[in-house]
Amino acid sequence: MVKISVTNLAGQTRDIDAEVGLTLMENIREHDFDDLQALCGGCCSCCTCHVFVTKGMDKLDPREDDEANLLEDSEHFDDATSRLSCQIEVSDALDGLAVTIAPE
């Protein structure tokens, strides 16, 4: 398992044991973070699994065009930290990643 730190909208942080091979979105939802709606279920067609990467952005692959286009339309977009958690596949390399769930 990979340790990832997740901060919810209330500012509470909890470390989760993320399962390799699942997306970050799936892992966050599996650990009962209700703040992450993920309405499209991981199809990269909404922005409701938006997170801010607060530690470990350098461990992630760059955003694909579809992800970038969705994020740029979000009022909470931050070019340096915004990602869609459905587009991040958890691997051992992500151990220590820290994210904050973005407001809707």
pLDDT in tens, 80-104: 999 999 999 999 999 999 999 999 8
Q: Exposed/middle/buried for 5, CB within 10 Å: 0-12, 13-18, 19+?
A: middle
What per-residue confidence (pLDDT) applies to 104? 81
Answer yes or no: are the C-beta atoms of 86 and 63 closer than 8 Å.
no
What per-residue confidence (pLDDT) applies to 74? 93
The mean pLDDT value for 9-13 works out to: 97
Answer yes or no: are the C-beta atoms of 28 and 53 closer than 8 Å.
no
Q: What mean pLDDT, rounded, does the chain reach?
A: 96
pLDDT in tens, 19-68: 999 999 999 999 999 999 998 888 999 999 999 999 999 999 999 999 99
Q: What is the pTM of this model?
A: 0.95
Question: Which domains does the chain possess?
Answer: 2-101 (3.10.20.30)
